[in-house]
Amino acid sequence: MNKRTIRFSRSVLAAAFYLFFGIGGLVIGCCCFPFLAFIGVRPMRTLVRASYKLFVWAAGAAGLFRVAISQSDRTRLASMHGRVVVANHITLIDIVILMAVLPDSTSIAKAAAKRNFFYSQIVRRIFLVNDDPAHVLDEAQRLLAQGVNIIVFPEGTRTPANAPFRRLHRGAAQLALHADVPVQPVAIDCTPPVLAKGQPWHDVADRTIVWTLRALDEIPVASLCSSHGTHAAAIALTERIFGTLWP
C-alpha cells in the first residue's frame, strides 16, 4: 500500500479507538460509578486505571501506538506511592498513558473538563477539579497521605514541542510543599507527534506511534521548606522542575 492509503487506514483505526475510548468513559461514569459509589472512590480509580491499561494494550496490539519505557523505570513508577508526579504535556492523552503506568493515581483537572460529554462523571468523581485552589490543596494533601499519586502538568495545557517559551504554573510546587512530599518528574516524548495542540486528531502518521516515558531524578522538598519562605520555595521548586524536564 502507498503512504496515502496507509494513513487513511490508520486514521480510520484511530477514529475507532477514540470512539471506543469516549464511549467507554461514558459507560464507566454513568453505569459503573453509581454502584461503586457505595464502596468508595478507590475502586473507581482502579476501574479507570484498568480501562486505560486496556486501551494502551489494545492500541499496541493493533499497531496504532505503543509505550516505550525501560524496565527499571517501569518498576520504579509502578511501585510509587504518595508522590506529586509532574510531566511535560505534549499530547491529548498523556494522562491516559501515565495513569496506565502508575499505581493508584489521580490528576488535577481544569474546571472545563467537568462539562465534557464523555468524561464528565470520571472527572467529577476521581479527579481534583481546579475550581477552588484551597480545597484542591487540602484534598491533595489527604490523598497523598493515603498513598495516592497526583499527576500535574505544570504547563497547564498542551505546549507544542517546538514552542520557544514555556510558562510553568506553580501549582505542582505548592501542592508538594503543602503536603511535604517529593516531586517525581516524568519526561514524555511522542514520535511521530500526534494529538498535539492544533494538530488534527486524524493525523496519525503512517507508522506506529511511540510514547517514550523516562522517570527522572526525584526532587525532595524538605530543604526548600527549611531554607525558603512559602512563596520563595514554590518559585525555587518550580524552577527546579523546569530545569529537570527541560534541561
What confidence tens digit (pLDDT) does each residue in 190-231 have? 999 999 988 898 898 889 999 999 999 999 988 776 566 678
The highest-level CATH class for domain 3-245 is alpha beta
What is the C-alpha to C-alpha distance for residues 239 and 152, in angstroms, rounded to an integer? Answer: 15
What confidence tens digit (pLDDT) does each residue in 69-95 have? 999 999 999 999 999 999 999 999 999
Per the DSSP assignment, residues forming a β-bridge with 214 are 187
Per the DSSP assignment, residues forming a β-bridge with 210 are 66, 191
What is the C-alpha to C-alpha distance for residues 58 and 54, in angstroms, rounded to an integer? Answer: 6
What is the C-alpha to C-alpha distance for residues 193 and 220, in angstroms, rounded to an integer? Answer: 32
What confidence tens digit (pLDDT) does each residue in 35-52 have? 999 999 999 999 999 999
Strand 84-87 and strand 183-191: pairing?
A: parallel
* pTM above threshold 0.85: yes
Q: Which of 92, 95, 118 is nearest to 200 (CA)?
A: 92
Domain boundary assignment for the chain: 3-245
Residues 6+ apart with CB under 8 A from 15: 201, 202
